[in-house]
Amino acid sequence: MNQLVTVESSIYIPTFDENNDIYVDESPYKPYERKCVKYECRCKAGSYFVGSKMFKQHIKSKTHKDFISYYKKYFKEVDEAKEIINDLKIENELLKRKLKKYQKCIEMLDEEQFDDCD
């Protein structure tokens, strides 16, 4: 077999339980999902899981449980900051495009003024 295997990898982000104001573990996989994405968990360097079974096993570890209970304190802001940065990037891109458009208009206006001077 000479196959290239591309391993998709994501960072696992626990679910926020708004009612209880805490983070909880919720499987990122659908039941019986076949092509499972590899998730890296920030509870421990090099820690990861692939598929429901491994996920269930992973969330039982003490390191992970501690990680979840401190999640809000250490990671919530980082995750939210990432989202804000993304939104700002999009907004910035749109504003840049608008600015380019207006710059062209200003250039055209300047040229017109020069024409008037002649």
Looking at the Cβ atoms of 65 and 100, the one nearer to Zn ion is 65
User: Binding to Zn ion by residue 68, rule CB under 5 A?
Assistant: no
Looking at the Cβ atoms of 23 and 64, the one nearer to Zn ion is 64
Binding residues with Zn ion: total (CB under 5 A): 3
- Going from the C-alpha of 94 to that of each of 4, 59, 73, 97, 116, the distances in angstroms are 38, 41, 34, 5, 34
Query: Segment near Zn ion (CB under 5 A), from 1-9, 61-69, 78-86, 110-118?
Result: 61-69
Query: Segment near Zn ion (CB under 5 A), from 30-38, 60-68, 75-83, 98-106?
Result: 60-68
CB of 7: closest distance to Zn ion in angstroms?
18
Q: Which class for 51: exposed (0-12), middle (13-18), buried (19 or more C-beta within 10 A)?
A: middle
User: Binding to Zn ion by residue 64, rule CB under 5 A?
Assistant: yes
Looking at the Cβ atoms of 66 and 87, the one nearer to Zn ion is 66
Q: Give how far the C-alpha of residue 87 lies from the chain's centroid of Cα atoms, to the nearest Å.
A: 11
Start-end of H helices in the chain: 52-58, 62-69, 71-74, 76-117
Interacting residue with Zn ion among 41, 60, 78, 112 (CB under 5 A)? 41
